[in-house]
């Protein structure tokens, strides 16, 4: 758990909605070799021999950290080895993201063990949220996320963004390794905080003791942290020894990125791609609302085989792409009054904006509301990146008077 310009994946060009027919499947841009915009001199073709290779073999070849072997590692091995169904679910889920993470790890010259860290942090669940409010597959706390340019507002939380959180986590781990000169200590700092590790090292130095990971005094959670990663490494290196079966993963991207040029509803985006909303959210878990704002989310991730379908269907789509937009409260309002102004019921406004009872919406707050003929422009970049909602409790007398006024209006 982490205490408190993203490299793009392979890209498929998308165009705004237009009144043109979808291209035949043979012309869908995701079916042949695709240029990697991060490395323009390279193309990826899932049909070539390298892409048909085993991704787990590539992971194993990149292992470079010194091994740990102690009782903590044995305990972790027993934990994972005793839950083959859990390991299967975890590795199948991780298969969506592992190729991209390994590419970024290798590009930075880091050991491949780091690509396995989300197994320890979140079981590779990009929507994971801890009781301490750490979020995403890399489990960033809010303040640390902000330190590493992970936007968090009412529309999105980049701590859950697959690309942005991976970039941030590897940036942070690289910084910690430069600070401590040791990957095990860097991992301890990632979990426990760099200040705590520095103080633990200083205590051992003062006492004339060794300052390696195994020699430091630390909480059990951190003591167990690197051994869990070591156990995952051992399991990946020799799954048959633990009686587990790894899913087949090929050495090519699971997903492609498709640029988004207009605001679009999540449900519609999933339908145009031919996937379920749940699958769409597994690849784009940063969305807090049922609409994707193009000004804040320049691209969506889609399974390799569905990206071309999305592009073609988007070109052929007629009608609005988004049914929601942002509205800024001009003054402090009761939810009922705000709902009347934007043409919603109070319950709809409360549900979509998660407004609890007996709260006022303060002036300047941004609410998600339906698009109308007079309110249909895409949300601005400033609002997409900086939208906030502030609430204030209403006192009992004000609430009683307001309720009386509402009843009188209803009678009239």
- Give the separation between CA 14 and CA 45, rounded to whole angstroms: 19
Q: Are 1 and 191 in contact (CB under 8 A)?
A: yes
- Give the separation between CA 282 and CA 303, rounded to whole angstroms: 10
User: Token digits for 300?
Assistant: 């969506």
Give the Å distances, CA to CA, from 95 to 83, 99, 251, 299, 370. Answer: 18, 7, 11, 21, 37
Q: Which of 104, 121, 248, 279 is catalytic?
A: 121
Q: Are 258 and 302 in contact (CB under 8 A)?
A: yes
Instruction: Please provide residue 156's backbone torsions phi and psi, each rounded to the nearest 5 degrees.
Output: -155, 160
How many CB atoms lie under 10 A from the CB of residue 405? 13
The closest alpha carbon to 258, from 304, 289, 295, belongs to 304
- Give the separation between CA 122 and CA 219, rounded to whole angstroms: 19
User: Token digits for 194?
Assistant: 């760099």
User: Token digits for 11?
Assistant: 């890209």
How far does CA 164 lie from the centroid of its chain?
7
CA within 13 Å, CB half, 69: 3
The closest alpha carbon to 14, from 292, 250, 285, 254, belongs to 292
- Give the separation between CA 388 and CA 326, rounded to whole angstroms: 11
- Give the separation between CA 341 and CA 293, rounded to whole angstroms: 22
How many CB atoms lie under 10 A from the CB of residue 89? 15
User: Token digits for 372?
Assistant: 């109308």
Per-residue DSSP letters for 238-298? -GGGGT--PPP-BSS-SEEEEE--S-EEHHHHHHHHTS-HHHHHHH-TTB-SSEE-TTT--
Q: Respond yes or no: is residue 248 known to be catalytic.
A: no
Structure-token match 């949300």, residue found: 379
* Residues catalogued as catalytic: 121
């Amino acid at each position: 758990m982490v205490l408190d310009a993203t490299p793009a994946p392979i890209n498929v060009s998308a165009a705004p909605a237009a009144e043109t027919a979808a291209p035949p499947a043979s012309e869908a841009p995701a079916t042949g070799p695709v240029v990697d915009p991060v490395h323009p001199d390279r193309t990826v073709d899932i049909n070539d021999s390298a892409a048909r290779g085993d991704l787990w073999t590539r992971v194993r070849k990149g292992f470079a950290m010194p091994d740990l072997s102690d009782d903590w590692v044995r305990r972790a091995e027993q934990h994972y080895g005793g839950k083959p169904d859990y390991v299967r679910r975890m590795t199948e889920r991780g298969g969506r993201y592992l190729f991209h993470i390994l590419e970024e790890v290798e590009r930075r010259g880091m050991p491949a063990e780091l690509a396995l860290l989300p197994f320890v942090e979140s079981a590779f669940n990009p929507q994971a949220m801890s009781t301490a409010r750490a979020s995403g597959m890399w489990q960033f706390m809010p303040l640390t996320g902000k330190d590493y340019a992970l936007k968090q507002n009412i529309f999105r939380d980049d701590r859950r963004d697959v690309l942005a959180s991976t970039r941030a986590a590897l940036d942070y781990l690289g910084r910690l390794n430069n600070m401590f000169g040791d990957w095990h200590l860097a991992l301890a700092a990632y979990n426990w905080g760099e200040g705590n590790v520095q103080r633990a090292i200083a205590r051992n130095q003062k006492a004339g003791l060794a300052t390696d990971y195994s020699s430091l005094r630390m909480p059990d959670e951190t003591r167990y942290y690197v051994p869990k990663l070591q156990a995952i490494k051992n399991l990946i290196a020799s799954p048959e020894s633990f009686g587990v079966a790894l899913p087949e993963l090929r050495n090519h991207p699971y997903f492609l990125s498709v640029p988004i040029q207009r605001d679009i509803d999540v449900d519609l985006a999933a339908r145009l791609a031919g996937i379920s909303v749940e699958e769409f959210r597994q690849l784009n878990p940063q969305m807090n609302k049922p609409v994707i704002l193009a000004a804040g989310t320049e691209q969506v991730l889609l399974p390799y085989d569905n990206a071309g379908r999305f592009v073609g269907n988007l070109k052929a789509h007629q009608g609005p792409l988004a049914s929601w937009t942002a509205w800024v409260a001009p003054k402090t309002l009761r939810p009922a009054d705000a709902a009347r102004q934007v043409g919603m019921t109070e319950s709809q406004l409360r549900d979509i904006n998660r407004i609890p009872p007996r709260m006022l919406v303060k002036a300047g707050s941004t609410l998600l509301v339906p698009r109308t003929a007079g309110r249909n422009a895409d949300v601005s970049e400033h609002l997409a990146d900086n939208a906030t909602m502030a609430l204030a409790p209403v006192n009992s007398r004000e609430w009683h008077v307001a309720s009386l006024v509402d009843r009188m209006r209803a009678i009239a």
